[in-house]
Amino acid sequence: MKISVIATSLPEVKIIEPKVFGDERGFFFESFNEHEFHEAIDRRVTFVQDNHSRSARNVLRGLHYQTEHAQGKLVRVVSGEVLDVAVDMRRSSPDFGKWTAHVLSSDNRRQLWIPPGFAHGFCVLSDSADFLYKTTDYWFAKHERCVLWNDPDLAIDWRLKDEPILATKDAAGTRFCFAETYA
């Protein structure tokens, strides 16, 4: 197998670490192999969309999720470093309301699998970051929701040194206790 799977504090969220082959010329790794990925997460998923964002230091995006057409996401950073966060939004889950955070960077080349049913966000820790992610469903504006990034009930440690740079919708996110959740 060319990837390793590292457990997180939320059993369904997994860190995917590729095997990197490097020498004096540079490096090579498979950033996605469907067969190995399905074995790693112990389920089959189909990705329908790839997204790429570039953000400056202290930009915080999230915590986003969709009430219908829930998206699973496979996320990675190809330039820079981010703190990536997933929050369990499933009321029936024993981990409902819990979160996990992991540093993803162009240096560690780690990816994070965030299954449907989780809110997702990230904060840029480097001067800038290029963030790529695959989704299992399309984006639908009318179904998108946002949990407030600094909700005191969640108490996420974003590792910020300064105030975050937020989109208007992220600054106006809903408190977790009032957020629409999944069954």
Which residues are known to be catalytic? Answer: 64, 133
Q: What is the largest CA-CA distance in the chain?
A: 53
Give the separation between CA 54 and CA 76, rounded to whole angstroms: 12
Amino acid identity, residue 145?
A: R
Rounded CA-CA distance 84/122 in Å is: 4
Give the contacts of 145 (CB within 8 A, at least 6 positions apart). Answer: 64, 65, 66, 67, 119, 174, 179, 180
